[in-house]
């Protein structure tokens, strides 16, 4: 069995203000870099992360190409809003916000 490290970190690209409710949780959008994940399980990894994203929250994925098929599949699961933070040519950074 081959073990690979998967990078999941938080960042706030394009956000000027932090979280201010005082509840001590992190307001940064989680970032999932799918490039090191084997292609055969890549979509499943994103579905798992998306499933843990509550309505109104976002997940940023970093992909080696424009993830249009993946976005179409996510739209079948729940209403989403998509925002491109970076559009190739080497990598795409896409913020996916779960609306419902």
SS3 54: coil
Q: E strands along the chain, which residues?
A: 8-11, 29-33, 58-63, 80-87, 92-98
State which residues form the domain around 39. 27-98
Per the structure, the count of domains in the chain is 1
Q: What is the pLDDT of residue 100?
A: 79
For residue 41, tell me if it sits in a domain. Answer: yes
- Per-10-residue mean pLDDT, the chain, length 100: 44 43 62 96 96 95 97 96 96 95
Q: What is the pLDDT of residue 38?
A: 96
Q: What is the pLDDT of residue 85?
A: 97
Q: Which of 92, 100, 96 is nearest to 46 (CA)?
A: 96
pTM value is: 0.73
Cα 82 from Cα 35, distance rounded (Å):
19
Q: What is the pLDDT of residue 6?
A: 45
For residue 22, tell me if it sits in a domain. Answer: no
Q: What is the pLDDT of residue 27?
A: 61
Task: Identify the H or E element spanning 50.
Answer: helix 39-51
For residue 67, tell me if it sits in a domain. Answer: yes
């Amino acid at each position: 069995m081959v073990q690979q490290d998967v990078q999941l970190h938080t960042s706030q690209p394009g956000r000027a203000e932090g979280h201010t409710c005082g509840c001590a949780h992190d307001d940064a959008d989680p970032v999932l870099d799918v490039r090191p994940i084997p292609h055969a399980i890549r979509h499943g990894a994103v579905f798992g992360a998306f499933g843990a994203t509550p309505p109104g929250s976002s997940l940023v994925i970093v992909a080696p190409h424009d993830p249009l098929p993946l976005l179409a599949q996510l739209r079948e699961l729940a209403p989403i809003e998509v925002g491109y933070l970076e559009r190739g040519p080497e990598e795409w950074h896409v913020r996916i916000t779960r609306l419902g």
